Structure 1
């Protein structure tokens, strides 16, 4: 059985783009009928994350840290990623 994909959404409080990306990810995965998990991490809680992602948030990454998209959910990139996950498993 293939493990459900795990994502991290680097975000910040009061960021409408961040809220939009999370909602878009949830809707996309629901349409796929796919199990997944997502951890939402506030970049402002960690100076290293601010240094890395400050102007890019929201940023969606996979469990290995591969950046899948930022600012907006890139459904095409997510489809490619999930296809690779399925083929590699």
Structure 2
């Protein structure tokens, strides 16, 4: 299964927009989306404060990787999904 983590914060329209766009792009696909409030953890604020929203992804054989921040990069997300599908077919 593919896991997405969206580092976000309350009252962030860019965060809401990215989550909505990601859900639309994933329509019909199996994936887990976890939304994490960066303001709940000082370490996350230090990492992502000015970059929020930040979308991370982890596939079957990958560690977390940043796909985009501020706005959804639909092409990068699609490439990640295709790469994961290829690794499942070949593995």
TM-score by length of 2: 0.88
Residue 40 of structure 2 is aligned with which of 42, 45, 59?
45
Q: Is structure 2 residue 72 aligned with structure 1 residue 77?
A: no
Q: Secondary structure at the match of 2:16?
A: helix
Flag as ranges the 4+ runs of structure 1 deviating above 3 A. none
Q: Secondary structure at the match of 1:34?
A: coil
- Over the residues paired in the alignment, what is the CA RMSD in angstroms? 0.8
CA deviation map 1:23-49 (0-9, x unaligned): 00001111xx21111000000001110
Query: How far off is 1:65 after superposition?
Result: 1.9
- How far apart, CA to CA, are the structure 1 residues paired with 2:25 and 2:45? 27
Q: Which runs of 5+ in 1 are unaligned?
A: none
Q: How many residues align?
A: 84
